[in-house]
Structure 1
Amino acid sequence: MDNAPYHSALAEKLPTTSWTKSQMQEWLQQKNIQFDNNCLRVELLEIYKKHRPNERRYVVDEMINANGHQVLRLPPYHCQYNPIEHVWGICKNYYVHHIGENGYSNEEVLKTWNDTLERVTPEIWANCVRHTDEIILNDWKN
């Protein structure tokens, strides 16, 4: 999975410098972390930093893990390792060359997208996966 923002929604919001003192106190209390009620907001943030989780947990990861699968996240800025990017490129290329053949009404645009997506066969997907595997193996060797 790539690191798109919609794939990276945190399962738990973690304190930031923009949080209020009461928000930080509530978070620390939920985690049973001791603090003095007279602490300043900046002091609460320091206490949080000493107890913050080592790993971020993402909503989508937890959903996938709950169903017996594991998420493998791609390195940032390496979309060539994701077969869907190759499929998407094929789709965009087809769409650009066929849009407007029958006009630009909402119905025709939707029909062109549907025609585009219907052309993505299991064989195309398999070829894109195979091509992606070759890129990964070649980069690994280099």
Structure 2
Amino acid sequence: MNHTVFKEWFISQLIPNIPPSSIIVMDNASYHSSQIDKLPTTSDRKTVIKDWLIEKGETPGDDLLKDDLLAMVKQHTSRWPRKYEIDIIASKHGHKVVRLPPYHCQYNPIELIWSQVKQYAKKNNFKMSDLKSLISEALQQVTPENWKNAVNHAETLQRDDTSRDLAIDNFVDSFVINLESSDEEEL
């Protein structure tokens, strides 16, 4: 899979087949995340970073080091939020893309559905020549109830993780020791 293939599928297969004003949950696979006007990184040449800043209305001095230029980029990232090509395509069709946090694919219900599809293919001892028809069969086996269960599972994981995070925060906060002197602690 690459961005070109994904974009073609997104435009020709997904967009025409979903209800108006849909919310599309997207993970952070590289082919889902092709950026428009990508922020410069350490792998860019100094002139590229400087030109990008100038294009954004900044006036970086000629004496700045590459690290200084990148610090300028980082300082203003809230003014230049990331824009993803797929998000813009979706919004032009009245849809919204919601991106999952990086490294949290377990919150995406589609992962459970793909697992179901793969298990179907595995049970049917597929040959590569039969894979396309077998996947089509497997997708037809996916029911609204399967989707409901997958969404409920993802929501449960999110609630459990949030509860665990809050418990850890509260536990850690109970160990914080204030080292500032107070009126009660005279030496």
TM-score (norm 2): 0.58
Distance 1:91 1:12, change over 3 A: same
Mapped to 1, the partners of 2:121 and 2:102 lie a distance apart of 27
- Corresponding position: 1:59 with 2:85: yes
What CA deviation, in whole Å up to 9, does each residue of 1:64-99 have, x standing for no partner? 445554443323332221110111111111110103
- Residue 19 of structure 1: aligned partner: 44
- Corresponding position: 1:97 with 2:123: yes
Q: How many residues align?
A: 135
Give the AA of the match of 1:15. P
Distance 1:35 1:77, change over 3 A: closer
Give the percent of matched residue pairs that are identical in Structure 1 and Structure 2: 36
What CA deviation, in whole Å up to 9, does each residue of 1:34-79 have, x standing for no partner? 234xx26x63552352244234333333334455544433233322
Give the AA of the match of 1:139. D
Unpaired stretches in structure 2, ≥5 consecutive residues: 1-25, 165-187
Distance 1:43 1:139, change over 3 A: closer
The alpha carbon displacement at 1:21 in A equals: 4.0
C-alpha contact 1:15 1:45 (8 A) present in aligned 2: no
Mapped to 2, the partners of 1:77 and 1:28 lie a distance apart of 30
- Corresponding position: 1:118 with 2:143: no
Give the AA of the match of 2:131. V
Unpaired stretches in structure 1, ≥5 consecutive residues: none
Distance 1:34 1:27, change over 3 A: same
Question: Superposed, which structure 2 residues align to 1:1-142 within 5 Å?
Answer: 1-36=26-61, 39=62, 43=65, 45-51=67-73, 52-54=76-78, 55-100=81-126, 104=127, 106=129, 108-142=130-164
Mapped to 2, the partners of 1:4 and 1:105 lie a distance apart of 25
Higher relative contact order (CA 8 A, sep 6+): 1
Distance 1:129 1:141, change over 3 A: same
Give the AA of the match of 1:117. L
**Cα RMSD, aligned residues only:** 2.7
C-alpha contact 2:38 2:82 (8 A) present in aligned 1: no
SS at match of 2:36: coil
Mapped to 2, the partners of 1:57 and 1:27 lie a distance apart of 15
The structure with the greater share of residues assigned to strand is 2
Give the AA of the match of 2:109. P
C-alpha contact 1:3 1:73 (8 A) present in aligned 2: yes
Distance 1:28 1:80, change over 3 A: closer
